[in-house]
Structure 1
Amino acid sequence: MSAQQKYRIEKDTIGEIEVPADRYWAYFRSLQNFDIGGSTERMPEPLIKAFGVLKKAAATVNINYGLDPKIGKTIIEAADEVIEGKLLDHFPLVVWQTGSGTQTNMNVNEVIANRAIEMLGGQLGSKNPVHPNDHVNMSQSSNDTFPTAMHISASVEINNKLIPALTNLRNALAEKSEAFANIIKIDVLIDSSVKFEALAAHDVIVEVSGALNTVAVSLMKIANDIRFLGSGPRCGLGELSLPENEPGSSIMPGKVNPTQCEAVTMVAAQVMGNNTTISIAGSNGHFELNVFKPVLIKNLLHSVRILADASESFRKNCVVGIKANEKRINEIMNQSLMLVTALNPHIGYDKAAAVAKNAHKNDLTLKESALQLGVLNEEQFNEWVKPEKMLGKVVN
């Protein structure tokens, strides 16, 4: 293949530029000017697909307002391919670009225009019969398209991925709660009405991120509680038995780590970090425009994705396989000095305190200590110290 075949010449308002011949995009200057982070920092796929939804909707409306129906319908067909993810390889731009997302909006316009040109039998880069600005971007601006795509992508990902994953995890935890209900253990015990606000600030994005941050905080606690309760089998709490999914050490044979819990806690930490970035970016809407849009949506979509994936993995590979170690739970409960509270109404605070201190000092059970001090007999202890009573359970 000759050099001429490998590249085509594109023109913009600055001048001519060479573009790979098989690519639908033409805004190659952005790749040169913002070479930051490489391919891992590209605009999130959900945002690109959301742009497809937006451009399809715009073309549908524009057909009624002067857009040639043949061109409009072809734009819709090309936009459908963007929505389906067929053209993702043609969106190489990274998040680190102009703060209004103009380059990505133009990237979308160019890809859809060139794909539409190809569908109509034209030559890539000719801007004929479909023009990226005049037709695909008709009656639009990056300042309205990018925020709209932000909200579309966030809504789709939250509703299609995160909420189902959190619902399934919640149900799995509820099932375990019901299954373990009779085990007694020791415990410590929107449309914006103000259009300028939508340009100058992204409080909705910040608010949604705050909600995700709250979810991350909750998952961090849940995962850590399960990890600690599953510590052992001999030198930890060992109240729960976690699924053994893979070897946990390259040097300690037989060691199994709470890997799913660890993954969830790392994800939670990342979401909290993303929320900090979003908070800072959201606070920098100056006058009529916030120019932190790409990093806002990049971090929000990242939080949604990893929370959804981690929740599903945690449910499938950990929660549903958790078993209660009732023997260990009973051992810990019967050794606990907290049960002395049940003796207060019967022998008084001072004697109960003496029983607890004697048990602790001499490594005795509460029963052994109480009998040694002669403050009650065995029958009385068995009648008064019943953990299930302390939980309000009916005892036969």
Structure 2
Amino acid sequence: MTTLTAHDARALTWPQLLTLVWGRWLVSLTFRMIYPLLGFLAAGFAVDLTTASLLITVQVAASLFSPLGGIISDSIGDRATMIGGGIIFTLGAAICAMSAAFVPFLFGYAVIGLAIAVGMPALQSYVSARSHYERRARMLGVLELSWALSALLGVPLITWSVERWGIAPIFAGLTIAGGVMLISYIMLPNDDQTPSRQLHQSASANHLWHLFQQPSILTALGFVFIQLAAVELIFVSYAGWLNSAFNATTAELGFVFGLLGVVELIGSLSATLFTDRIGKRRAVLGGFLLVGVWLLLLPQSGSWPIFLALLLAFDLCFEFAIVSTFPLISGLSAQRRGALLAMMTAGIGGGRIVGSLAGPWISATAGYALTSTIAGILALIGFGIGLLFIKEGNA
């Protein structure tokens, strides 16, 4: 069987990598499909839109449990944690499929969020452990393509299907898909139990505390938190901005969402192809520097085409930068990689929560232009922190 590299017997084969991409695509689809379905779910469960938006809140909040997944991953292994995450995902999808009221549906969706928080860092750690650092951005980049592909290839099909058959059959299908994902994880090779890993498995909680005591890792996690808080200010505001400034219709907003999906795919693909060549630290810092620049320029756009071009440029650079961040962070520690990537996921979730709560409030009280300006300043502050303190690893 052909492997991705002939220099390491542990390297992932293409079928194994595609198995992991499939799992990542499935959970990304389940995460992203809720956004366009909020109105449908609010009407179907007879709740208001604010109540229905709790689905997004519990999903994002679940990411704060990712350090728990990191502890588990470093204790029992990445593959075993992925299998556990697959079991939890399948259970959550089944609860949603059987729910006739909003509260049990919300509970089931929270269970899915927990599965993602536990399983995804382990999946990234599994790929990282089976790829050389010099080629890791390529491997993780292929994995992260599934995020953009879920919007382009999955969400339109889901919304079309929900309109015809309702939400319960969709989650019944996701339950079956979760079972397939679980079986595919069981068939993957188990983690290699190296002496260093066996030595550290008994004290993963202490290792997590040890990570927090390292200034370089704390700086990297703070960098991720600041950048995600900055960009989320825009992601939760751009639809209202387009509507108020340019009288965008629902169809036009849908068109913009589709363009953003294409741009995300291009950004992920660019990180896959070029981050290893550019250098991971250089790619991350350069990408987020441009994010800050585009956000500062966004309020200066006086026409729809210029605004759209700047918005797409911002999203392209962000996607390139965030995909490049995963291999950069993964290289900071080999023995504690699972916990480290889990903490990064928690940092992403924490930043998104802050941005999603602050964005609407700032926009309503001070305007969208100030929201973008604050986001740009935050992104540049994060860039400065990264430039001074983030170092290139090689683990």
TM-score, L = length of structure 1: 0.22
Structure with higher helix content: 2
Structure with higher strand content: 1
Higher Cα radius of gyration: 1
Task: Between the two structures, name the one with larger relative contact order (CA 8 Å, sep ≥ 6).
Answer: 2
TM-score, L = length of structure 2: 0.22
